[in-house]
């Protein structure tokens, strides 16, 4: 399994736009991409402007397919407006659980 963990800091005044874009990307990813097994949007309990994306894909090719999707590009366009700083993304290999299917 291929995982992506993304840390995002948003502009407080852009919260609603961020949430709409994040929900669009996560919902469409899980619904429309057979290789996307999970896409969580998490809020940091200590900072209302800090979020995380936790994404699980079958493999790196499934993630590359995600990056080519229309909803990913909608997210990227919105991100240019809503983010307060560059994203911090880590690409990972899942250790446990080994299989999400």
Section 32-47 average pLDDT: 97
Find, among 88, 82, 94, 90, the residue nearest to 25 by Cα. 82
Place 54 in a pLDDT band, splitting at 50, 70 and 90. Answer: very high
Percentage above 70 pLDDT, the chain: 98
Q: What is the pLDDT of residue 13?
A: 98
Q: Please give the residue that has the higher pLDDT: either 74 or 99.
A: 74
Cα–Cα dist 28/75, whole Å: 11
The domains of the chain are located at 2-93
Write out the CATH class of domain 2-93. Answer: alpha beta
Q: What is the pLDDT of residue 101?
A: 58
Find, among 79, 22, 78, the residue nearest to 54 by Cα. 22
Rounded to the nearest 5 degrees, what angle is found at the Cα of 45, between the Cα atoms of 41 and 50?
Answer: 55
Place 100 in a pLDDT band, splitting at 50, 70 and 90. Answer: low
Question: Would you say 39 and 52 are in contact if contact means Cβ atoms under 8 Å apart?
Answer: no
């Amino acid at each position: 399994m291929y995982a992506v963990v993304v840390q995002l800091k948003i502009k407080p005044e852009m919260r609603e736009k961020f949430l709409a874009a994040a929900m669009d990307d996560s919902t469409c990813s899980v619904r429309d991409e057979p290789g996307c097994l999970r896409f969580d949007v998490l809020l940091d309990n200590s900072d209302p402007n800090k979020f995380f994306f936790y994404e699980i894909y079958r493999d790196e090719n499934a993630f590359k397919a995600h990056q080519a999707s229309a909803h990913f590009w909608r997210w990227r366009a919105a991100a240019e407006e809503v983010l307060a700083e560059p994203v911090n993304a880590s690409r990972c290999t899942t250790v446990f659980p080994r299989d999400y299917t």
